[in-house]
A = this chain, B = another copy of it.
Amino acid sequence: MKNLKMKAARAAKDFSQEELADICNVSRQTISAIEKGDYNPTINLCIAICKALDKTLDELFWDEEQ
């Protein structure tokens, strides 16, 4: 399932996928795959993404997949 909350939060910061990837020290493909969904990132990466986007885990990653 697509992670639209994350995509929206990234847009709100005006970050490209590559900029967010650089901040989080991962590849652009990893960010793309997470936004696309059907992907299972590690909690540490989720935390890095949240901090880069000024969001919490619950705001970006809760309730996506039931």
Copies in the assembly, this chain: 2
Taking a contact as CB atoms under 8 Å apart, the answer to whether B62 and A56 are in contact is yes
Give the size of the chain A interface in residues (CB under 8 angstroms): 13
Q: Is A46 an interface residue (CB 8 A)?
A: yes
**A43, A47, A58: which has the most chain B beta carbons within 10 Å?**
A43
Q: How far is the CB of A38 from chain B (nearest CB, A)?
A: 11
Taking a contact as CB atoms under 8 Å apart, the answer to whether A42 and B44 are in contact is no
Binding site for B on A (CB under 8 A): 40-44, 46-47, 56-58, 61-62, 65
Knowing that A43-B43, A43-B46, A56-B57 touch, tell me 6 more A-B residue pairs with CB under 8 angstroms.
Answer: A40-B42, A40-B44, A43-B61, A57-B58, A57-B62, A58-B58
